[in-house]
Amino acid sequence: MVRIAQPWSLRYPLVDGQGNFGSIDGDSAAAMRYTEARLTKIAEEMLADIEQDTVDRRPNFDGSLQEPVMVPTKFPNHLCNGTMGIAVGMATNMPPHNLVEVLDACLLLLEKEGKPVEITQEDGSVITTKYEVTIDDIMEIIKGPDFPTGGYIYDSNNIREVYRKGK
């Protein structure tokens, strides 16, 4: 919970923490008994329609409750806050992006939805998409990552390749 309350860790914090939640300098957070927390407005929006049965549900860990298979959210958390993690044999590190830019790019995708198009990738595999939007079209809107600390990208020419290849 500490990480999702820190404004230097997430572009859009999900928890409004009261008390010592650490510092950007590496100071540790206080013990749980010395802190309080509540959801931020954006996190409340993520859960606003949870009871509307818009997604499938499955039993929880002990079968006592039904939980949603995914969160039916209005906020694109994965794209806006980024993510970082390691699993068996693979890892991911996706940077955060500006909410307004992400939503504008989503609107572009909806506007340009068309007939299915087959795209041959560099490795020869073929993927099918029904969007007529290119990486360059999206990069007209999303110029690059939007770090919570206001960091700079020194080699911005390679951002297109990073978005195109995913690494």
Locate the domains of the chain by residue range: 93-166
Residue 161 banded pLDDT, cuts 50, 70, 90: confident
* pLDDT tens digits for range 135-159: 889 999 999 999 988 888 887 778 8
- pLDDT for residue 62: 96
Rounded Cα distance, 14 and 30, in Å: 19
* pLDDT tens digits for range 43-63: 999 988 888 888 899 999 999
pTM as predicted = 0.77
**Residue 105 scores a pLDDT above 90:** yes
- pLDDT for residue 102: 96
Rounded Cα distance, 69 and 53, in Å: 11
By annotation, the residues acting in catalysis are 34
Q: Are strands 83-87 and 113-120 parallel, antiparallel or unpaired?
A: unpaired
Among 2, 17, 145, 14, which Cα is nearest to 71's? 14
